[in-house]
Amino acid sequence: MSSTPLFRNATEPVWCDGCGDFHVLDGLCAALEGMGREPRNVALVSGIGCSSRLPGYMESHGFNSIHGRALPIASGLKLARPELTVIVTAGDGDIFSIGATHLVHTVRRNPAITLFVMDNGVYGLTKGQQSPTTPPGTQMRTAAQPVGDASVDPLSLMLSLGCGFVAQAYAADQPAMQQLMQQAIEYPGFSFVNILSPCPVFRGGMGIYKELRRSISRIDDSGHDPADLAAAHALLASAEAPLAGILFRRDLP
């Protein structure tokens, strides 16, 4: 794993081999350094889960908080220390299940914090249960039958909540992900980036990387106007593959 010395500390990550979160860690370190930020001016807050270990591997302020409660803690931190760059790193289960109520009201209040969700479609820390974003029909190791529940669409959910910055990245596409990270951090309000971060151990095997790289549709290539909310909803409704890029961006009070 490559690393960026300015923001990476000496702690070795304990993620499984092949975890997409390695890419997210490297990408976030590189994005912050590329923006000229200093570790003492950056604070990372996380909840519980594989992805929520990320603050422990960075040379910045970090707080590994309570399951699903990272957003209100980060909001309080931003109120108390508005000069800090405050970033929340979380997983799909942590944010869209346990922390769903906090997500709703954080979007409504629009604090100047950034949320990066490492979406692997599985509860990896507890060994493979379905998460809110697990696609229907997926056979999980922990269940006798394929998933029958409808899944949460993170992008559609955030548009519906009124989030002013909604984007999606693929963890293994470092240049594009780093660019999205920087744009999200610079956004003057609550920004959201869903990061497709594969879990090859509990969902999909290593082949999931090739599958995603082959299937992802880049929003920039479609001629989409990210300031057009109706067009964002229409693009999502018509998409036949995962999207990558900025889906919606509008400055809000």
Domains and CATH numbers, the chain: 21-249 (3.40.50.970)
More confident: 140 or 96? 96
Q: How far is CA 20 from the centre of its chain?
A: 11
pLDDT bin (cut points 50, 70, 90) of residue 3 is very low
Q: Does the structure show a pLDDT above 90 at 123? A: no
The residue to which tokens 């109120």 are assigned: 79
Token reading at 138:
């997926």
pLDDT value, residue 220: 92
pLDDT single digits (tens) 182-223: 999 999 999 999 999 999 888 878 888 999 999 999 999 989
Amino acid symbol at 1:
M
Tell me the pLDDT band of 1, cut-offs 50, 70 and 90.
Answer: very low
What's the N-to-C CA distance of the chain in angstroms?
A: 40
Query: Residue 46 pLDDT > 80, yes or no?
Result: yes
Spatial distance between the Cα atoms of 225 and 127, rounded to a whole number of angstroms? 40
| pLDDT exceeds cutoff 90 at 159 | yes
Paired tokens of 3? 């690393």
Q: Is 50 exceeded by the pLDDT of residue 96?
A: yes
Q: 165 Cβ partners below 8 Å, 6+ apart?
A: 183, 184, 187, 189, 190, 191, 192, 246, 248, 249
Q: What are the tens digits of pLDDT across the range 25-45?
A: 999 999 999 999 999 999 999
pTM metric for this prediction: 0.94
- Considering the chain, what is the average pLDDT of its residues? 93
The residue with tokens 């590189």 is 30
Structure-model confidence comparison of residues 142 and 4, the more confident one: 142
Which of 248, 253, 251, 245 is closest to 227 using CA atoms? Answer: 248
Name the helix (H) or strand (E) containing 244.
Answer: strand 243-249
CA distance 34 to 64: 25
State the DSSP code for 16: P
State residue 43 phi and psi, 5-degree precision. -130, 130
Model confidence at 137: pLDDT above 80: no
Query: Within 10 Å of residue 12's Cβ, how many Cβ atoms?
Result: 8
The answer to whether the beta carbons of residues 102 and 116 sit under 8 Å apart is no
